[in-house]
Structure 1
Amino acid sequence: MCWPLLYPLVLGFSISLAEGSQTPSIYDDVESARGGHEGPLGPTAELEESKCPDQLHPRGFPGKFCANDSDTLELPASSQALLLGWVPTRLVPALYGLVVALGLPANGLALWVLATRVPRLPSTILLMNLAAADLLLALVLPPRLAYHLRGQHWPFGEAACRVATAALYGHMYGSVLLLAAVSLDRYLALVHPLRARALRGQRLTTGLCLVAWLSAATLTLPLTLHRQTFRLAGSDHMLCHDALPLAEQISHWRPAFTCLAVLGCFVPLLAMSLCYGATLRALAANGQRYSHALRLTALVLSSAVASFTPSNVLLVLHYSNPSPEAWGNLYGAYVPSLALSTLNSCIDPFIYYYVSREFREKVRAMLCRQPEASSSSQASREAGSRGTAICSSTLL
């Protein structure tokens, strides 16, 4: 539905690619090898080509089907080197492992404290949803982590690959959308405090959370509709989403991922930039009084932009360039950048929750099974609203 609106973003695509006027690629060199000229794949190209005759089919990472075998994709040597190198098999699982090791306890504990020890104000509900999205992201990473540790071999089947891919993108982009919702809440509280009294209620908060979750689910639904597991020709590697047929790249994956990047990342980041930009101006106008909140607001914004922009720019470029060499190189850079994006789920708890002294005290009291206030419970109750404002939004 958003494809006609996003068409100008898809640069360099020509429909003639599917008709026969293809961009010169490594496969053209393979064809020339059949005519007696040795291409860049070396003297083995002719042997491999005899196993997988040329068809007007995929160039996915880039890959192409073997003859009479829709389960196997052939990749050029350069793409195989990127796919099976140390970055996706060592660096990427290390990053995912870090997200699981830090994200699970940090977000799980934050969600527990927010749900049981903090008054249920609208801003608290927003951050509970953010903690839940980041926690679920860490929970869905282990299958992907096992896939990379096994040297790009997916052992769990096609259905699990679709679910794991959709869950990875869904929870990550859900987190981005919720970050934008939190920025809007902070904007109303700090820039329009009088108007915020009427607007910042349960209805607005519930609506923002529902929009974030439903938008993320809708944007990632196409990831469950097409096959994503293919065997790598000449090996026992079963790839999950890392090599896809060209026809589906054009008809299905290109519009799906373009919508996902634009509506799930660029638009929320733009909203965050506008809201936090106005918030920074309001804080700066008060001089040194809000210097800590000023620095923290800038940190929150820069963290989100730095985490999500590189991977989504690479994603759009990857699906906008029909050259298989460009696709392969860009996808090789996209895989680690996607892993880096998931690190934001480990950063969120510390810049939204644990930076607050009141929140840390609540965590300490809960872990030590102590009353919420060790000296004066009445004073703690009187500071409840103020403490919650600080806990539920570290920008105050």
Structure 2
Amino acid sequence: MEVDYIEYDDYTPDNGTENNSTTAGLLNLSTSRTPLTHVLVTVNIFISLIGLGGNSLVIWICGWKMKRTVITTWYISLAISDLLFCVFLPLEVFYMITSHWPFGLVLCKLTSSALFLNMYSSVFLLVLISTDRCIMISFPVWSHNHRTVRKAFGVVVLMWLFSAILTLPSLIFREITVHGSVTQCYTNYSTHSRHKVVVLTRFIFGFLIPFLVIVFCCSVIVVKMRNLTIKSKKPYKVMAALILSFFFCWVPYHSFVLLELDFSNHSLEVLKTGLKVGATLAAANSFISPILYVFIGNDFKQTLKRSVTSRIEEAMAEDFRTGGLNHSRSKSMEVI
């Protein structure tokens, strides 16, 4: 998980460049062992565990237990995005605890990139879900004739490619440096202007434009639903909950990153604390989706219950058959 702020001390990279030009790009999330750091470590461990289990469950249910539809295609992709981030999160938790990165340059780049790949893919999927629902309710006949799983899969592939392209700065500018026995994984933009371009690009494409598109689609949906009789509003509740959770999780991060561009006019301690908390809230978005599916998604909940029940019944039946077989064998041995 990359957080774009530096330890605001007099650290100078090994290349001898002036610290002022790299200030915005160098961060070690665990530079100060405050009570807040311990809380954030605990929260991130919780996020990692719940995210890995919950998103794996969503992929299993939507991928193998439910009929493949356009909606399940969106949700499987969202779960894969969240799961990918949660796979790398334990490495960041280790770094927060030890302030030492022993995993090498490749994992330094990938761990940082996982958060932003998750950010872009999640918000783009929310745009797709909102647009899809908007088209369904506005043009039902056209939607019925042209809306297919194959086309949805093609759109998802393009979405992943676009997200990967926008994530490239994390791969390019993430570096490691060695100070004695301690290795640090940090972001080095070299110049403030380059850092500013990256931050604004993330904000515009990863937040502002998707937000405007989603608000427009949701406004159309609300207006249309007033004049229509909808059989079930559960899918729209899930969509609304996903959108709200994403923006509540990411607004603090984007806010403090934008403030950090002009860090000289703000309290450094406030910025450091805000960015740490904002990064953790952003990470929390990766485990919220499965919880929403279970508590709001009626079809998902019913399929989960049936799947778990059938597994228990199969296990009990197997135990019964095995027990019966052992009992028969013991009887036979007694007769002999």
In the alignment, which residue of structure 2 is the partner of 1:279? 221
Q: How many residues align?
A: 304
List aligned pairs for 1:1-396, cutoff 5 A.
Answer: 60-66=6-12, 70=16, 83-86=31-34, 89-150=37-98, 152-230=99-177, 238-241=183-186, 248-286=190-228, 296-319=238-261, 321=262, 323=264, 329-352=270-293, 355-369=296-310
Equivalent-residue separation in structure 2 for 1:356 and 1:67 (angstroms): 50
Shift of 1:304: 2.2
SS at structure 2 position matched to 1:84: coil
Percent identity, please.
21
Q: Which amino acid aligns with 1:312?
A: H
SS at structure 2 position matched to 1:120: coil
In the alignment, which residue of structure 1 is the partner of 2:327? none
Shift of 1:101: 1.6
Conserved? CA contact 1:365–1:371, under 8 Å:
no
Shift of 1:325: 5.5
1:12-56 per-residue CA deviation (whole Å, 9 max, x = no partner) reads xxxxxxxxxxxxxxxxxxxxxxxxxxxxxxxxxxxxxxxxxxxxx
Conserved? CA contact 1:161–1:228, under 8 Å:
yes
SS at structure 1 position matched to 2:190: helix
Quote the RMSD (CA, aligned, Å). Answer: 3.5
Conserved? CA contact 1:314–1:334, under 8 Å:
yes
Q: Which amino acid aligns with 2:8?
A: P
Distance 1:341 1:60, change over 3 A: closer
In the alignment, which residue of structure 1 is the partner of 2:324? none
Shift of 1:297: 4.8
Distance 1:70 1:294, change over 3 A: same
Q: Which amino acid aligns with 2:162?
A: S
In the alignment, which residue of structure 2 is the partner of 1:35? none
Shift of 1:198: 3.1
Conserved? CA contact 1:216–1:264, under 8 Å:
no
Shift of 1:224: 1.5
SS at structure 1 position matched to 2:277: helix
Equivalent-residue separation in structure 1 for 2:176 and 2:14 (angstroms): 17
Distance 1:122 1:172, change over 3 A: same
Q: Which amino acid aligns with 1:344?
A: N
Shift of 1:272: 1.7
Distance 1:295 1:130, change over 3 A: closer
Shift of 1:189: 1.8
Conserved? CA contact 2:30–2:37, under 8 Å:
no
Equivalent-residue separation in structure 2 for 1:135 and 1:300 (angstroms): 16
Q: Which amino acid aligns with 1:317?
A: L
Q: TM-score, normalised by structure 1?
A: 0.66
Q: TM-score, normalised by structure 2?
A: 0.77
Equivalent-residue separation in structure 1 for 2:67 and 2:145 (angstroms): 19
Which stretch of structure 1 is more off in the superposition, 97-106 or 154-163?
154-163
Conserved? CA contact 1:111–1:128, under 8 Å:
yes
Conserved? CA contact 1:166–1:224, under 8 Å:
yes
Which stretch of structure 1 is more off in the superposition, 324-333 or 336-345?
324-333
Distance 1:171 1:285, change over 3 A: same
Distance 1:227 1:82, change over 3 A: closer
Runs of 4+ in 1 over 6 A off after TM superposition: 71-75, 79-82
Shift of 1:190: 2.3
